[in-house]
Structure 1
Amino acid sequence: MSLTFLGRFIGFLMLAAIAALTGREYGLPIANYIAGARNSTAQDARFATRALVYRLPEQSPLSFTFSQPLTLFKLLIQPAVNADDHGRASGFVYGVKIHMYDATGAEVGAQEVYLHADSPDEVFASGEKWRFFRDRPEMVAGQDEILVESELPFVQADIEVLDEDQGVLGVDLRAYEQRPFLGSQAISAFLRRSKAEKRSLAAANAFPSDMLTQDEMTFLAANHWRPVGPTGIEGRDYQAFVLYEALLPAARRARR
Structure 2
Amino acid sequence: MRLTRIGRLVSLIAATAIGIGAAWLARDDIIRLIGWSKAQSELEVEAAKRSLVYRLNREAPLNFAFSRPAGVIRIVSQPLVDAGSWDRLDYWTYGFRVEVYDSGGTAIASHDIHSRALHPDRILPFRRPVRFVRDSDLKIALQDDTVIVSTPAASTIAITPLPSDPAVREIDLRVYERLPFIGRTALAAFHRRSPAEQAQLAGASALPAELLPDAERAALMTNRWKVLGPTGVPGQDYTVTVMYEGRFQPSDEEEDE
TM band (smaller chain) = 0.7 to 0.9
Partner of 1:75: 75
Partner of 1:219: 219
- 1:146-225 aligned at under 5 Å gives the runs 146-194=146-194, 197-225=197-225
In 2, the alpha carbon distance for the partners of 1:127 and 1:235 equals 35
Query: What do residues 102-147 of structure 1 show as CA deviations (whole Å, max 9, x unaligned)?
Result: 0001111111111001125436656542211123331211101000
Query: What do residues 51-81 of structure 1 show as CA deviations (whole Å, max 9, x unaligned)?
Result: 1000000122111000000110111110011
| AA at the equivalent of 1:97 | R
Q: Which has the higher helix share?
A: 1
Partner of 1:96: 96
Root-mean-square deviation (Å): 2.3
Shift of 1:236: 0.3
| AA at the equivalent of 2:183 | G
Identity, % of aligned positions: 35
Q: Which runs of 5+ in 2 are unaligned?
A: 1-42, 250-257
Partner of 1:45: 46
| AA at the equivalent of 1:122 | R
Q: Which runs of 5+ in 1 are unaligned?
A: 1-39, 250-256
Shift of 1:197: 4.2
Runs of 4+ in 1 over 4 A off after TM superposition: 123-127, 194-197
User: Given that residues 86 and 121 in structure 1 are in contact (C-alpha distance below 8 angstroms), is that contact kept between their aligned partners in structure 2?
Assistant: no
In 1, the alpha carbon distance for the partners of 2:164 and 2:194 equals 40
Partner of 1:26: none
Query: What do residues 174-195 of structure 1 show as CA deviations (whole Å, max 9, x unaligned)?
Result: 0110111233332232233345
In 2, the alpha carbon distance for the partners of 1:170 and 1:101 equals 25
Q: Secondary structure at the match of 1:105?
A: coil
Partner of 1:105: 105
- 1:7-156 aligned at under 5 Å gives the runs 41=44, 45=46, 47=48, 49-122=49-122, 127-156=127-156
| AA at the equivalent of 1:77 | S
User: Given that residues 96 and 112 in structure 2 are in contact (C-alpha distance below 8 angstroms), is that contact kept between their aligned partners in structure 1?
Assistant: yes
Q: Secondary structure at the match of 1:54?
A: strand
User: Given that residues 87 and 119 in structure 1 are in contact (C-alpha distance below 8 angstroms), is that contact kept between their aligned partners in structure 2?
Assistant: no
Query: What do residues 10-55 of structure 1 show as CA deviations (whole Å, max 9, x unaligned)?
Result: xxxxxxxxxxxxxxxxxxxxxxxxxxxxxx64xx5251x3210000
Q: Secondary structure at the match of 1:187?
A: helix
Partner of 1:236: 236
